[in-house]
Amino acid sequence: MTQYTQLPEAIRHLIKENRRNHNHELGDLIRDGGYVPPHMDLLIDAITALSMGKNVLLKGPTGSGKTRFAETLSNLFNQPMFNVNCSVDLDAESLMGFKTLDYEGDRQIIEFVPGPVTNAMKHGTFLYIDEINMAKPETLPLINGVLDYRRTITNPFTEEIITAKDGFGVVAAINEGYIGTVPLNEALKNRFIVIDIPYLQGEQLKRLIQDDSRLQDNPTIDLFVRLSGDLIQAVAQGKLAEDAASIRALLDACDLAAMIPPKRAICRAIADKLDEDREKAFVITMAETLFG
Ligand SMILES: Nc1ncnc2c1ncn2[C@@H]1O[C@H](COP(=O)(O)OP(=O)(O)OP(=O)(O)O)[C@@H](O)[C@H]1O
Ligand SMILES: [Mg+2]
């Protein structure tokens, strides 16, 4: 938690007040931290909203650190976090759970296996809903009641009325504009505090590369930081697809560059993933300009 010592006293106090004293079997679901906020406000606002029992929506491009941000919130609050990964196949069962046959002695019984929403509500933990705009529009309204002040849902499979235990909190992530996503339903969006997640840049990105990648050569790291800035700019100008600027891909390139020439590392980790030859050539030219 050392890197969060720059948080204002009042915010650290909020965390202390709301930190979970867990004792239990869910300890494995408390995630590692490690998110480096481009501005402290991002963390301050997320911590404030969650402490007040509000839902947080992290909005940002792929590889900008949204999942790491959510994991860091779990870590700061010492709160286990259940996960929902949305896709077009997401249905009520993957949210709430499902019925299955089991044996009690030789007697057959119907058992209910709780899903992530049921689990998080009953245990009063965090719930991370990833790529929330990948779900079919008709699926998520099921949990509208979970997301508003009622914090209540009737499990459609058991008819049980579930009210969330204290400590329950929702963090969701969306990548707006990504292919396959649908604009988030207004009623749903309305239930969140929205936090825009920009890419980490400059000195902070340099430190992240030093800490999180295998690359240790500082002059090379500096060039990768410049490359990242150039890629972000090219994406903003519409010259490259958004995933070209992913910090995930950049860290992969840095890892490889600890062993192989940077230009090849950039081909494998960044350029070759792009769909159009024109885009690939553009990234390779950037790599040549910087790394020779
Ligand atoms: N600000 C940051 N602080 C710490 N790590 C970061 C940051 N930005 C990116 N990363 C690193 O980049 C990688 C991708 O981050 P993460 O998976 O959180 O992105 P994401 O926004 O969830 O992407 P996606 O939309 O594809 O799921 C991880 O290895 C993560 O640690
Ligand atoms: Mg993610």
Please tell me the predicted confidence (pLDDT) of residue 20: 85
If asked whether residues 160 and 83 sit together in one domain, one would say yes
Which atom of ligand 1 is the closest one to the Cα of 62? 25
Last residue of a domain, one of 196, 227, 248: 196
- On the question of pLDDT at 263 being above 70, the answer is yes
Does residue 72 lie in a domain region? Answer: yes
Does the Cβ of 253 fall within 6 Å of ligand 1?
no
Q: Residue 249 C-alpha to ligand 2 middle, in angstroms?
A: 13
Least confident of 3-7, 116-120, 240-244: 3-7
Task: For residue 287, tell me if it sits in a domain.
Answer: yes
Are both 269 and 136 inside the same structural domain? no
Residues 212 and 274 in one domain: yes
Residue nearest to atom 25 of ligand 1 (CA): 62
Q: How far is the CA of 205 from the centre of ligand 2 (A)?
A: 18
Residue 278 and residue 220 share a domain: yes
Atom of ligand 1 nearest to the CA of 175: 25
User: Is 108 part of any domain?
Assistant: no
- 151/268 same-domain check: no
Atom of ligand 1 nearest to the CA of 200: 1
Residue 245 lies inside a defined structural domain of this protein:
yes
Task: Confirm whether 226 is domain-assigned.
Answer: yes
**Range in 3-7, 12-16, 222-226, 270-274 with the lowest mean pLDDT:** 3-7
As a whole number, the mean pLDDT across the chain is 92
Residue 111 CA to ligand 2 center (angstroms) comes to 32
Q: Which listed ligand is nearest to 43 at the C-alpha? A: 1
Residue 249 beta carbon below 6 angstroms from any ligand 1 atom: no
Predicted local confidence at residue 186, as pLDDT: 83
pLDDT digits (tens, 9 = 90+) for 121-166: 999 999 999 988 888 888 888 888 899 888 999 999 999 999 999 9
* pLDDT for the residue numbered 180: 61
**Residue scoring higher pLDDT (129 or 1):** 129
- Any atom of ligand 1 within 6 Å of the Cβ of 248: yes
Which pLDDT does position 4 carry in this prediction?
A: 77
Which of 64, 73, 204 most suits a substitution to test ligand 1, by most atoms within 8 Å of the C-beta?
64
Same domain, 58 and 137: yes
Same domain, 186 and 218: no
- State the pLDDT at residue 234: 95
User: Ligand 1: does its nearest atom lie under 6 Å from the Cβ of 204?
Assistant: no
**Structural domain ending residue among the three candidates 165, 196, 227:** 196
pLDDT over 90 for what percent of the chain?
A: 78
Q: Domain of 134: which CATH number? A: 3.40.50.300
**Is 105 a domain residue?**
no
147 shares its domain with 227: no
Residue minimizing CA distance to atom 28 of ligand 1? 248
Query: In this structure, are 125 and 267 located in the same domain?
Result: no
Q: Is the CB of 36 under 6 A from ligand 1?
A: yes
Residue 37 lies in domain: 2-90+118-196
Q: Categorize the per-residue pLDDT at 79 as very low, low, confident or very high, splitting at 50, 70 and 90.
A: very high
Q: Which two tokens stand for residue 257?
A: 């560059």
Which atom from ligand 1 is nearest to the alpha carbon of 68?
18
Cα–ligand 2 centroid distance for 65 (angstroms):
7
Distance CA 60, CA 43 (A): 15
Number of the ligand closest to the Cα of 69: 1
Q: Report pLDDT digits (tens) over 156-185.
A: 999 999 999 999 999 999 987 655 666 777
Residues 181 and 214 in one domain: no
CB–CB of 220/257 below 8 Å?
yes
**Confidence at residue 179, expressed as pLDDT on a 0 to 100 scale:** 59
Residues 218 and 25: their CA atoms lie apart, in Å, by 43
Number of domains forming the structure of the chain? 2
Q: In the prediction, which pLDDT does 226 show?
A: 98
**Domain end call among 146, 179, 196:** 196
Residue of minimum CA distance from atom 4 in ligand 1: 35
Q: Do 267 and 215 share a structural domain?
A: yes
Identify whether residues 143 and 47 lie together within a single domain: yes
In a domain, 148, yes or no: yes
Q: Whose CA is nearest to atom 24 of ligand 1?
A: 62
Task: Measure the CA–CA gap between 144 and 190, rounded to whole angstroms.
Answer: 10
What number does the ligand 1 atom closest to the CA of 199 have?
A: 8
Confidence bin at 187 (pLDDT 50/70/90): confident
| Mean local confidence (pLDDT), 189-196 | 92
Q: 96 lies in a domain? A: no
